[in-house]
Chains A and B, each alone.
Chain A
Amino acid sequence: MTMERNEKSGRAAGGTGRYEPYSYFQLMEVSLRELLVEKGVVTEDAIAGAMAAMRARGPERGAAMVARAWLDPAYKARMLANGSAAAEELGFEVPGLKLIVVENTPETHNVIVCTLCSCYPRMLLGLPPEWYKSRPYRSRVVREPRIVLAEFGLRVPPQVAIRVHDSNADMRYMVLPMRPAGTEGWSEAQLAGLVTRDCLIGVAVPTLPAARKSAKPSPRKPARSKTPRKPNKSRKPRKS
């Protein structure tokens, strides 16, 4: 067994250490899965297939839609009218997703949250970051969005209205950020490279690489990764 001690979950199980080196919840996962397979409800192949499909989803899909919208006003209009159809138009399958794309303008900045659980356009963008699911983000961004965004290093000027979207029911949301100045003549792929996951949630805006370097450093250095959702073999797991 190569498994390492799972301290956090082990404590949550009651602190007896009874299940170590596994967490109680990992044993529950194995139990649930084996029972479902024995009862003929799911197969291991179907689970592996669903995992692979989720790993293939990611923020670069949303970034591709944004870049297309920046270059093609007709596509942008279709995307604002029906986000899911616009995703499918670029070849991204989004079964069950009802996507609403909300557009940043010089007058309005949008930011997405789910206060009740952690709803996220996962069928397009993959699984959400840890902080999106955290109590501080879910609790505070609805009530003090300007302060929370400032904690992310994004200061929204007072003359720009903030529009918070609580994904509390059946729709899911993605932000269409503004195209940064100085990108005239850029290719679609170059433009897509500017659009991070955080831009699609609305806690960041696209900036040019030079501007990023000269930007004021945030108080604590965050672990920024473009692909936090892919725990593939070559990557060391990060502590959360």
Chain B
Amino acid sequence: MSAVLEPMFRTGDRVRVRKAAPLGHVRTPFYIRGHAGVVERICGAFPNPEELAQQRDGLPAQPLYRVRFRQKDVWPGYRGSAADVIELEIFQHWIEA
């Protein structure tokens, strides 16, 4: 197996973050789990932080996406413009297949 996974998604794809609650250290904030957004860009591939936190190498490296979410989709009763967005980095293994 290659040490770097191939990206399964492309810029412009609509993706949904898994709604999961794994044990240990994770870098996917609670507030964004379960929400859908659009891939803004692919940042490359990085070792999985959940494994790095446990003294392992985190390989194969996971593609990392910048995903853009509409604020009105993320927060109930969001006070602001419909065009307001929030962008986060989502690892591929956190995206629903």
Instruction: Give A contacts to B, CB under 8 Å.
Output: 98, 100, 115-116, 142-147, 158-171
**CB pair A169 B87 closer than 8 Å:** no
A47 to B46, CA, bound (A): 28
Q: Which A residues touch B88, using CB under 8 A?
A: 166, 168-169
Chain B residues in 8 Å Cβ range of A98: 43-44
Q: Do A164 and B79 touch (CB < 8 A)? A: no
Known: A144-B79, A162-B84. A168 touches B43 (CB 8 A): no
A146 to B82, alpha carbons, bound, how many Å? 13
- Judge whether A169 and B49 touch: CB under 8 Å: yes
B interface, how many residues as a size bin? 20 to 34
- Chain B residues with CB under 8 Å of A170's CB are 43, 46, 64, 89
- Chain B residue numbers with a CB within 8 Å of A171 are 43, 64, 66, 89
Residue numbers in B under 8 Å from A161 (CB-CB): 81, 83-85
Q: A142-B31, A164-B87 are in contact. List 12 more A-B contacts (CB 8 A).
A: A100-B66, A143-B78, A144-B79, A147-B79, A158-B81, A162-B80, A165-B86, A165-B87, A166-B29, A166-B32, A168-B88, A170-B46
Q: CB-CB < 8 A to B91: which residues of A?
A: 169
* A168 near B89: Cβ-Cβ < 8 Å: yes
Given A98-B43, A143-B75: A169 and B89 interface contact (C-beta under 8 Å): yes
Q: Is the CB of A162 within 8 A of B79?
A: no
Minimum distance in angstroms from B6 CB to a CB of chain A: 18
- Report the bound CA distance from A162 to B27 in whole Å: 23
Q: A143-B75, A164-B87 are in contact. Are A169 and B46 (CB under 8 A)?
A: yes
